[in-house]
Amino acid sequence: MKRTAASKTVKQDNARLPARTPRAGGQATRQHLLDTAGQLFAERGFAEGTTKEIAQRAGTPMASINYHFGSREGLYEAVLIEAHKQIVNLEDLLAVTQAANASPQDKLRMVLGRVLGMAATRNVPWGFRVMVREVLSPSAMLPTLIEKAVRPKAAAMRALMGQVLELPEDHPAVQRAVAFVVLPAIVLMVAPREGPERLLPALVQDPAALHEDLVRYVMAGLEALAAAHRRAPKSGLKATAKAPAKKAAPRTARRS
């Protein structure tokens, strides 16, 4: 009976204790590790970036990497998602594509403007180089990156492109149009500046003109796509006209 009463008292005392809250510096430490790892992976790639060096650069014990990310692979997965966010932030993209007071064409212009605006800056975030390395030498975390970071943004762009073309967002032409528009813009954004500066200097000398010309090029192409596919027959149906039935030749009476 005494033990029961004592245990009840302990439970009552524990119930009055406040719930544990995360340490104030926990999120800051996680972000610091993320930035440090991102810079190292941008320099050397995933294969050459060790947890030991990341911890040394960050000034934290190696155990903090496992505490916040579970493993080196978990850390790199978080780095990839953050890198993609630095290029295209989902919240910013949805704010543009779901804006109620703009036409689909104006929304697309704003999306291109944001992407090309980042391409014009010299001090690009480390995420740009991380993504270039991942594209050139994919890791085992690429499928996770696609599902967690790329797919939601692709869905937003498909919805917007469907509005621009006035076609269902699952239409093949809509999917192709997303690729035609997005991929060149991303290449301009992540490509090293040294090449364009030497070979095509106009690409970096006048960012505003680059944006205007790319928008003209994109809009003209999308207009042609929309016109072609609105006239096209529905998929799976053959637009074959029936040949007119031949009339039977009139019979002539035989002479007796």
Predicted local distance difference test score (pLDDT) of residue 240: 42
Taking alpha carbons only, the member of 108, 138, 124 closest to residue 219 is: 108
> Is 250 a residue whose pLDDT tops 70?
no
Task: Assess whether pLDDT exceeds 50 at residue 242.
Answer: no
pLDDT, residue 223, reads 94
| Confidence (pLDDT) at 21 | 37
pLDDT single digits (tens) 173-198: 999 999 999 888 877 777 777 777 78
Alpha helices by DSSP H, listed for the chain, are: 2-16, 26-44, 51-58, 63-69, 72-87, 90-97, 104-119, 126-136, 142-145, 151-165, 172-190, 194-199, 202-205, 207-231
pTM above 0.85, yes or no: no
Mean pLDDT of 9-36: 62
Share of the chain above pLDDT 70, in %: 78
- With cut-offs at 50, 70 and 90, classify the pLDDT of residue 64: very high
What CA–CA distance (Å, rounded) separates 185 from 191?
10
Residue 256 has pLDDT above 90, yes or no: no
The answer to whether the beta carbons of residues 93 and 153 sit under 8 Å apart is yes
**Residue type at 209 in one-letter notation:** A
Average pLDDT, the chain: 82
Q: Which of 121, 131, 27 is nearest to 81 (CA)?
A: 131
Domains, the chain, with CATH or none:
86-230 (1.10.357.10)
pLDDT at 150: 94
Q: Is the pLDDT of residue 1 over 50?
A: no
Mean pLDDT over residues 49-56, rounded? 94
Tokens, residue 31: 């972000």
Count Cα atoms within 13 angstroms, Cβ side, for 246. Answer: 3
Interval 123-137: pLDDT, tens: 778 998 899 899 889
Residues whose CB falls within 8 Å of the CB of residue 131, separated by 6 or more in sequence, listed in order: 80, 83, 84, 87, 190
Give every CB contact of residue 95 below 8 A, 6+ residues apart in sequence: none
At residue 20 the predicted structure's pLDDT band, cuts being 50, 70 and 90, is very low
- Report which secondary-structure segment, H or E, holds 52: helix 51-58
Instruction: Give residue 191's Cα distance to chain centre.
Output: 17
**Lowest-confidence region among 14-18, 75-79, 250-254:** 14-18
CB-CB contact of 98 with 104 (8 Å): no
- Going from the C-alpha of 147 to that of each of 77, 89, 103, the distances in angstroms are 12, 15, 29
* Tokens encoding 73: 């692979």
